[in-house]
Amino acid sequence: MTEKPITASPMTEMPSRRSFIKLVAVTGAAVTLGGRVAAQTASSPAKSGDLLVYQDGPQKGQVVKVADLKEGAAVWAQAVDPATKKPRDAMKSGVVIVRLKPSEIKASSQKNAVNGVVAYSSVCTHQGCPAKEIGSIGQGKGNIICTCHGSIYDPRDNATVLGGPAPRRLPALPLKTDAAGELVAAGEFTGKIGPK
């Protein structure tokens, strides 16, 4: 018995020019869309469920607990991926956490606060210096200050700019707590991090 030579069927032959153009267009769109999604994911310095850990001091690396925060004091922390314990973006994931009297928190900040605690990006919107301290004198007293150029933000009112060269408020990081009272991000930052 002789075997027939293998030949390509009409369906497996080279695609028509029209089919080829469609295939290239669909593939290009998929690659572009995939690139955009990846870029957005990579640029999100905090996500819901991220833990907030101390960035300095004797508790550096430990998760911040509401019970450990003093009213009117600031804590410099960082949002970290709970799976890797590392920041998603080391340059933009810093936060300044402030515990306030719940009655002091204005409506603009209440939706992002938990148990009297608010958190904002610690990257000044002027030139990107750390804005991580509470001022003790003058207009800065009780407010978040940037010690580089003197920008002042109101932690009670969604980090509204009170003074200095900052062009806009600090983005808020919505908060929640877990069963152990540890601070956890409830979402992404509410705006662009740092200067334009």
Angle in degrees, CA 124, 66, 109, rounded to 5: 50
Mean pLDDT, to the nearest integer, of 105-119?
Answer: 97
CA distance 97 to 69: 9
Q: Both tokens of residue 157?
A: 């009112």
pLDDT recorded at residue 177: 97
Burial class (CB in 10 A: 0-12, 13-18, 19+), 168: middle
Q: What is the structure's pLDDT at 16?
A: 54
Q: With beta carbons less than 8 A apart as the criterion, state whether 97 and 144 touch.
A: no
Using one digit for the tens of pLDDT, what is the confidence trace for 49-105? 999 999 999 999 999 999 999 999 999 999 999 999 999 999 999 999 999 999 999
β-partners of residue 98 are 74, 118
Q: What is the mean pLDDT of residues 120-132?
A: 97
Percent pLDDT > 70 in the chain is 78
Model confidence pLDDT, tens digit, residues 18-57: 554 454 444 444 333 333 333 334 468 999 999 999 999 9
- Tell me the average pLDDT across 132-152: 96
Q: What is the pTM of this model?
A: 0.78
